[in-house]
């Protein structure tokens, strides 16, 4: 992303677009793209604006002036045009991590991978091939709370923007979710809200579904019920057993995760309660 992005969430009222764009004009901004949406049920206004021709030293003033002009309860952020800083958490499955490492290597991720953290050492060699720090935090014979405290301690070493759960097959506790609220992105191997939890392909096979899919979502304290970023599906039929579905599903998972991360890293995703607005 080459341009700064102004993001606004506020109570809806007449004249908001005019107010915001007038302030941008006062700073001499040229608007590259502008998107707006009104959630009528919640009476909330969302706006994403790409602009140019404003000096970086004026961005903070611009952000503050826009915020001061809007109704009480508004949220205004100005996203700088730089890659997001991420830490990836994983377990044993390689496909999502491998895809992200390749995209990162070729500059196609709009992010800097700071580290990979896993509760198994299976993928240490994969991370090493791309010269990414890998931390093995085994959980065997350890209370969940103690293991997760170690995870938070490791995460705290990094000034990160997002945590990506690339097939991290452990449930995060409320303390971690609260500390990193709105910053944890998970790939779930089913088309949510169907087949929540473990072994979704076995569940899908038992149900005889004709489509299987994957869901990328933000993590909340409710298992697999956080705001959905994006979803994809592929066809299945009676010839597919659970193993075949799982194999096919891996391709959907990595594509869905990559698509979700591009949207988030380009500052296109707004969280609105338990839903998202995606421009």
Averaged over 88-115, what is the pLDDT?
96
SS (HEC) of 37-62: EEECCCCEEEEEEEEECCCHHHHHHH
Residue position matching structure tokens 């910053």: 183
Q: Which of 12, 121, 161, 224 is catalytic?
A: 224
| Percent of the chain's residues with pLDDT above 70 | 89
Averaged over 57-76, what is the pLDDT?
97
Averaged over 74-81, what is the pLDDT?
96
Express each pLDDT in 163-210 by its tens digit: 999 999 898 999 999 999 999 999 987 666 666 666 766 666 677 766
How many other CB atoms are there within 10 angstroms of residue 144's CB atom?
Answer: 12
State yes or no: is 241 an active-site residue.
no
Question: Among candidates 189, 278, 179, which has minimal Cα distance to 227?
Answer: 278
Phi (first) and psi of residue 94, to 5 degrees: -95, -20
Q: Per-residue confidence at 15, pLDDT binned at 50, 70, 90?
A: very high
Strands 84-90 and 184-188 turn out to be unpaired
Whole-number pLDDT of residue 204: 67
| Percent of the chain's residues with pLDDT above 90 | 76
Q: What is the DSSP letter of 92?
A: S
Q: Per-residue confidence at 222, pLDDT binned at 50, 70, 90?
A: confident
Residues across the chain: 279
Please state, in angstroms and rounded to a whole number, the distance separating the CA atoms of residues 208 and 197: 18
Residue position matching structure tokens 């004249």: 15
Whole-number pLDDT of residue 138: 94
The whole-chain average pLDDT of the chain stands at: 91
The domains of the chain, with CATH numbers, are: 5-79 (3.30.70.260), 84-278 (3.40.50.170)
Please state, in angstroms and rounded to a whole number, the distance separating the CA atoms of residues 239 and 219: 34
- Longest CA–CA separation in the chain, Å: 63
Structure tokens at 227: 């705001």
């Amino acid at each position: 992303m080459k341009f700064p992005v102004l993001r606004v969430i506020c109570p809806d009222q007449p004249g908001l677009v005019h107010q915001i764009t007038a302030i941008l004009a006062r700073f001499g901004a040229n608007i590259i793209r502008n998107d707006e949406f009104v959630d009528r049920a919640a009476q909330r206004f969302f706006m994403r604006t790409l602009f140019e021709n404003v000096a970086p030293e004026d961005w903070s003033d611009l952000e503050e002036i826009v915020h001061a002009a809007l109704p009480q309860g508004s949220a205004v952020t100005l996203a700088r045009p730089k890659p997001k800083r991420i830490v990836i958490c994983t377990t044993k499955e390689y496909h999502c991590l491998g895809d992200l490492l390749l995209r990162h290597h070729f500059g196609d991720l709009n992010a800097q991978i700071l580290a990979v953290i896993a509760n198994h050492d299976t993928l240490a060699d994969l991370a090493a091939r791309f010269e990414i720090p890998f931390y093995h935090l085994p959980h065997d014979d350890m209370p969940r709370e103690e293991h997760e405290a170690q995870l938070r301690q490791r995460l705290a070493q990094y000034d990160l923007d997002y945590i990506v759960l690339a097939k991290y097959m452990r449930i995060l506790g409320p303390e971690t979710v609260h500390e990193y609220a709105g910053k944890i992105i998970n790939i779930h191997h089913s088309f949510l809200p169907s087949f929540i939890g473990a072994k979704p392909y076995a569940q899908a096979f038992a149900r005889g579904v004709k489509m299987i899919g994957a869901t990328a979502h933000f993590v909340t304290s409710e298992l697999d019920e956080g705001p959905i970023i994006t979803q994809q599906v592929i066809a299945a039929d009676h010839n597919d057993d659970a193993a075949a579905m799982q194999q096919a599903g891996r391709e959907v998972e990595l594509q869905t995760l990559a698509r979700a991360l591009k949207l988030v890293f380009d500052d296109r995703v707004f969280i609105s309660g338990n839903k998202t607005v995606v421009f």
